[in-house]
Amino acid sequence: MAAATGRSGQPRLHWWGTLLYVPLLYGLGWLTARPLGLLFPSWRPDQLDLAGAVIALGLLLATLPWRLRQAWGCQTPWQTLGVALPPAAGFKAFVRGLLKALALLVLVVVVLLVSGQARWLGLLDMGELANALALLLGVGFAEELLFRGWLWGELERLGGSQRAIGLQAAVFALVHPWYRLPGVEAIALLIGMVLLGLALALQRRADGGALWGAVGLHGGLVGGWFALQAGLLQLSAATPAWLIGAGSPTPNPISGLLAWLGLGALLLARRRWWRNNR
């Protein structure tokens, strides 16, 4: 989309192309979804927005191979993004990421139960389970393809490998709605999202460039926390935000001390991958 060809005939990236590519796709998805409000007048605004996001994801999947060929000079786009792998390798990476998400969630749950800040209910109906699985696969794949796949690759080509790992984490954090929270809580969520973005990037590096480990880690955290809040765990109304995260009554644990400690431990364990190229 933003590729130019230099004197050598090689594809060349521009910053403006990287900045505009996804917002344009999202805008097209949003506009395409508006007529659905006339066809389905009972749909809420958030349902229309979700439809627009799904359309935008479809546009991303359809145009990514073209962009990588034109702007990166890449003839094997899905392999380069870490998506197309032998099934066994992709599954193993996914499970490794999922187990790390489970370990982080267990840390949070155990501390909350032992400290008396929550009690275990163990209730989850099939609809809630289906929603958790949809979040695991949908959010995990879509956001990892976007941030640890496409964006990280673009930033590496524009600014170098070491600068890119921090930049992709910063962009990942900034585009999430941290600004809806007040003051210190907003900053806490922003820091937590940066830590998560770094952990997901190092997960991909540790998996030799495969994206599926990051999908499992990211999706497992999102889907797992949804399942916990949907009926598995009941949080006390007195649980401090600094411990479990801001946003009561449905807090985001990424902004809390427990998640910071867990992600910090994961980053420490993965520190040798910080300077390794994918």
Q: Based on the domain organization, do 26 and 44 belong to the same domain? A: yes
Residue 101 lies in a domain: yes
Residue range 176-186, pLDDT digits in tens: 988 888 889 99
Residue 183 lies in a domain: yes
CB 227 within 8 A of CB 127: no
The pLDDT assigned to 1 comes to 34
Q: Based on the domain organization, do 93 and 213 belong to the same domain? A: yes
The pLDDT assigned to 14 comes to 84
The pLDDT assigned to 274 comes to 78
Q: Which amino acid is at 212?
A: W
> Final residue of a domain: which of 33, 53, 80?
80
Q: What is the extent of the structural domain holding 61? A: 1-80
At 271, the pLDDT band (50, 70, 90 cuts) reads: confident
Q: Based on the domain organization, do 10 and 122 belong to the same domain? A: no
The mean pLDDT of 28-33, rounded to a whole number, is 92
Q: Based on the domain organization, do 58 and 191 belong to the same domain? A: no
Q: Would the pLDDT of 125 be above 60?
A: yes
Q: Based on the domain organization, do 70 and 90 belong to the same domain? A: no
Total domain count, the chain: 2
Residue range 130-178, pLDDT digits in tens: 999 999 999 999 999 999 999 999 999 998 888 999 999 999 999 998 8
The pLDDT assigned to 4 comes to 40
Q: Based on the domain organization, do 5 and 127 belong to the same domain? A: no
The pLDDT assigned to 169 comes to 97
Residue 92 lies in a domain: yes
> Final residue of a domain: which of 80, 98, 117?
80
Q: Based on the domain organization, do 47 and 169 belong to the same domain? A: no
> Final residue of a domain: which of 80, 106, 129?
80
Residue range 31-85, pLDDT digits in tens: 999 898 888 888 888 888 889 999 999 999 999 999 999 999 999 999 999 999 9
The pLDDT assigned to 276 comes to 61
Lowest mean pLDDT segment, chosen from 82-91, 179-188, 269-278? 269-278
Q: Would the pLDDT of 3 be above 50?
A: no
Q: Based on the domain organization, do 129 and 259 belong to the same domain? A: yes
The mean pLDDT of 246-258, rounded to a whole number, is 89
Residue 278 lies in a domain: no
The pLDDT assigned to 140 comes to 96
Residue range 218-227, pLDDT digits in tens: 999 999 999 9
Distance between CA 145 and CA 80 in Å, rounded? 11
Q: What is the mean pLDDT of the chain?
A: 90
Q: Based on the domain organization, do 8 and 103 belong to the same domain? A: no
Q: Based on the domain organization, do 143 and 265 belong to the same domain? A: yes
The pLDDT assigned to 41 comes to 86
Q: Based on the domain organization, do 172 and 240 belong to the same domain? A: yes
Q: Based on the domain organization, do 49 and 142 belong to the same domain? A: no
The pLDDT assigned to 9 comes to 45
Residue range 100-112, pLDDT digits in tens: 999 999 999 999 9
